[in-house]
Chain A
């Protein structure tokens, strides 16, 4: 009953918010009457007639039949800005002045102005929290990661997204070569499966609200709740695991028994030092070899057996 009331209250509240947002939305800004090329894209392609520039004509951005797209209005200049000056020869100059907006991390157009062009259409959905996000405040241009003049933007392709991210996040690239890792190289898990690079409401740009919800999106069997819970597991998966790659098995930060012994210092075996005399050829300790502590306590993520309090069943 309590849950239903909570759920109903939440829905009513959300509906109210939804109405408030819609009602308060302003009238769409009108474009200023600046000098656009008379011939639209055809004028641009008088000069820019080679690939990859022309590839944009085969992408979702260039679809005049879709009223939302740049090519339904000012075509190339919807993004590059009114640039009729760019098409005029300037006496004494070998090259014309640049278009109003030139995209790229090292472009002459300030990054803020470039991104404003993109966000004028794309501020919804996953990009709602772009303003103030790590990449926004780090002056990352949309065009640093996105390639609009490509048949398929590499950052939107599972097999190539990692290389786009690794261009800056080299440490994570190095971690992807560890013995224990996620299938990122194979394109089966992408950076954006866990992270929202456009700004998130969770920690470390996570796509979901917290670490555990993010992990549960694939590892649903670990979601529980369980009868016998393991406090650090319910608290945060990264208490024990490191997601980008580990030299230890199962993406562990450090291996058992030492990981477990950072919290468990009980009489007898949990407080015993397992060392060189417990491994071959000097010994064969079942608390350090094979799965370590998990040789007896396999249900570290939680047990639902009524006798599983010690996470053995």
Chain B
């Protein structure tokens, strides 16, 4: 009975909507009012409840990646916003708000806030966000202990590292969905101590549960590996507590914050059975008794104290300061070198846990002053010291639970490297107003980065940016910017990390001097020249049309790099137009072109002389993303104050092109493009059925077509040494319709 009433409530207005055309037309005549006629003000509804249902035409994990709209069939539409506050002139200041969105979906949010404005407020909320990864994955493993232990089915027949010879693989495959979900509970309060002082405290607990994919391998090197991609359980919890004291005065303002973040992983290991019987591995590291054990994300904590302040000396000069101290720790117990009890481990762990600690201190100071009516001067200084105090020790590896432990003079003996970083940055900027229509801003920035454990101990970058803003006519305005930056290092010690990460015994024994090729220059520390151009131009030919043009171009030239990333260019251009002929309808359209291009060089080599047969073994790769996005839409008040319709159409096409060159000793074939094409249509109407009852209809169409050679046709047994999950490129063509009623009050 109740259900019938609800359905009646939902459907009746829909039927009436289409029978109301004439009435609506009549209503239109009411707008031809005499100027002197008194119009009753429209009531203000501050609250609304929306309820309805929708229908989805097709299952699609990817379409519902974050929304939860994954399954074909019906779903509930539920949104609400209930708000009450004391009348503005009542002298009271109490209010409360209850907000809910997507209540019928896995992406729901519910929040409540109550307070007396200017005195206090309390708030709580719940937020849920799915993350769908793969709906079509398959694995031969049986998940035990809540997915932390992966074992093979009875009757499994191993192979000697050849996936194609795993005779039971295909018959053992079980479907598994790869997805996880975040749930966030928040609560807190704010207390306005007086007009200037506010104290706030907020606590959040976020859980992330489900699974993701991870590789699990055996073997000791790229020459003898074998493994599989498997589901990794995700069971994370993060507590976040923030307290803040704020002062807001006319001249001075500051905020003192303390934040504590505590991350816990409830499933800190993943154990997996070895599906192979590799003759090259230790005899005790083969199917069926051999397992591998992986450390998943370790628990960690971070506490941060932040002080930010600003002071206006007079109306022309202002100074700001920001100081941050961040203390991050991680001290999870180490797993044993191996879970395989039959492998020989002679040298124990140097310590039982990481005792990891990173202390970051940062200070920013800024001054800005207006000198006269035309000139503005600014200065900023930034210092950041990321000090990684994690102890350094020698760890002698048991290679992937497959061989006995190495020795102190082997490549398996390695020292951990706690990377540090220190940054000092100065910025001077000058702004000059030539007239009210033309302004020029020029900035000089100097940045110095020091890294304790790095191929480059110190980099210095000088950068100059200029930006011209102009308003040539009352109908046009825009800006144009240009920048140049030059980064140079103190010298590239190509084997610095190799020497730091290996034991002196190994280096002496083997006489090796490097791992990475001596001519490589890692792009994030390499010498670089950067050139940027950007600009925007807006034109308002009349009161109804706005035209915009935007563009940017950046070129990074790693001018001292011979092997590695040589050049990176990004460019984009956008044209958009909005046309609003009257207050009833407005149209918009935009088109964006983007280009991202990377040029890199490498040298295919074997140990020995790193310059042997160089020209013949040299190869280059050019990767080029070209993306076009086009959108058009309108917002139409079809019947004044009664019926509003809006529609959006979006088309996005992204191609990734590759182009390789290689010397005579490099074997290669050009590779097909990758493509991703999305078409989206969204149409929505809102119809006012009665004073406080609206009907909302929605049609949504999305079509995604991906072509990706890394996934398409790649079955679990396709790769030679790795058992895959068989997940394919997502493709879908989903229609959604929704109808709901909105009650406003």
Question: Which positions in A face B, CB cutoff 8 Å?
Answer: 3, 6-7, 10-11, 13-14, 17-18, 21-22, 24-29, 49-51, 54-55, 57-58, 60, 62-69, 71, 106, 120-121, 123-125, 128-129, 131-132, 137-139, 151-152, 158-159, 170-171, 173-175, 177-179, 183, 185-188, 201, 209-210, 213, 216-217, 220-229, 231-232, 234-236, 239, 247-248, 253-255, 258, 261-273, 275-277, 279-280, 282, 284-286, 288-292, 294-298, 303-309, 312-313
Contact = CB atoms under 8 A, between A and B. Distances in A.
Interface string B439-468: 001000000000101100000000000000
B520 A25 contact: no
B369 to A, nearest CB: 10
Contacts of B548: 170
Given A64-B88, A174-B627, A273-B666, A201 B215 contact: no
Q: Nearest 7 pairs between A and B by C-beta?
A: A124-B248, A276-B669, A66-B118, A65-B93, A183-B66, A174-B629, A221-B297
B320 interface: yes
A269 B606 CA distance: 9
B568 to A, nearest CB: 9
A7 B552 CA distance: 43
Interface string B135-171: 0000000000000000000000000000000000000
Nearest to B379: A132
Nearest to A58: B46
Contacts of A183: 65-66, 107, 129, 131
A147 B323 CA distance: 32
A256 B590 CA distance: 32
Contact of B598 (A123, A235, A258): A258
Contacts of A279: 671-672, 709-710
Contacts of A235: 419, 421, 451, 524
B24 interface: no
Contacts of A65: 86, 90-93, 117-118
Question: Which of A224, A234, A266 has the most chain B CB atoms closer than 10 A to its own CB?
Answer: A224
B101 interface: yes
Contacts of B338: 307
B71 to A, nearest CB: 17
9 contacts: A7-B325, A14-B256, A25-B252, A125-B246, A187-B101, A217-B261, A224-B356, A264-B516, A279-B671
A268 B594 contact: no
A66 B93 contact: yes
Given A24-B311, A295-B722, A262 B523 contact: yes
Given A131-B320, A295-B722, A304 B602 contact: no
Nearest to B550: A170
Nearest to B449: A235
B687 interface: no
Nearest to B625: A247
B100 to A, nearest CB: 12
Interface string B625-653: 10101010000000000000000001010
B247 A266 contact: no
Interface stretch (B28-36, B52-60, B274-282, B393-401): B393-401
Given A18-B256, A298-B215, A307-B397, A290 B550 contact: no
A188 to B, nearest CB: 5
Nearest to A294: B215
B594 A171 contact: yes
A239 B524 contact: yes
Interface stretch (B5-13, B410-418, B734-742): B410-418
Interface residues of B, number: 201
Contacts of B295: 303-305, 308, 313
B656 A286 contact: no
A294 to B, nearest CB: 6
Given A171-B592, A186-B67, A306 B515 contact: no
A254 B600 CA distance: 12
B127 interface: yes
Given A64-B91, A128-B254, A138-B479, 9 more contacts: A58-B88, A120-B250, A123-B253, A124-B248, A177-B652, A187-B109, A225-B358, A291-B213, A309-B416
Nearest to A52: B44
B664 to A, nearest CB: 13
Contacts of A106: 540
Given A65-B86, A65-B118, A261-B600, A277 B720 contact: no
A138 B195 CA distance: 31
A151 B46 contact: yes
B178 interface: no
Main secondary structure of the interface of A (DSSP, over half): loop
A225 B650 contact: no
A60 B710 contact: no
B83 interface: yes
Contacts of A64: 88-91
B698 interface: no
Given A54-B44, A247-B674, A258-B598, A137 B441 contact: yes
Interface in B210-230: 213-217, 222-223, 225, 227, 229
Interface string B477-516: 0010000000000000000010001000000000000011
A132 B248 CA distance: 19
A124 B674 contact: no
A247 B714 CA distance: 20
B364 A220 contact: no
A222 B592 CA distance: 33
Nearest to B718: A284
B703 interface: no
B317 to A, nearest CB: 9
A306 B397 contact: yes
B564 interface: yes
Nearest to A57: B88
B519 to A, nearest CB: 8
Contacts of B621: 258, 261, 273
B88 A267 contact: no
Interface string B372-396: 0000001010101000101000010
Contact of A289 (B42, B596, B724): B724
Contact of A124 (B255, B359, B563): B255
A291 B719 CA distance: 11
Contacts of A7: 305, 325, 327
Interface in B595-611: 596, 598, 600, 602-607
B51 interface: no
B671 A247 contact: no
B722 A69 contact: no
B318 to A, nearest CB: 5
Contacts of B332: 304
A159 to B, nearest CB: 7
A222 B263 CA distance: 10
B229 A291 contact: yes
Contacts of B656: 247-248, 255
A248 B633 CA distance: 28
Given A11-B305, A123-B248, A137-B441, A220 B261 contact: yes
A3 B303 CA distance: 12
A267 B607 contact: yes
Contacts of B89: 64, 71
Contact of B328 (A22, A225, A262): A225
A228 B712 CA distance: 33
A227 B335 CA distance: 12
B364 A312 contact: no
Contact of A60 (B117, B334, B676): B117
Given A124-B248, A268-B222, A63 B714 contact: no
A25 B592 contact: no
A129 B718 contact: no
A261 B602 CA distance: 8
A312 B400 contact: yes
A125 B598 CA distance: 41
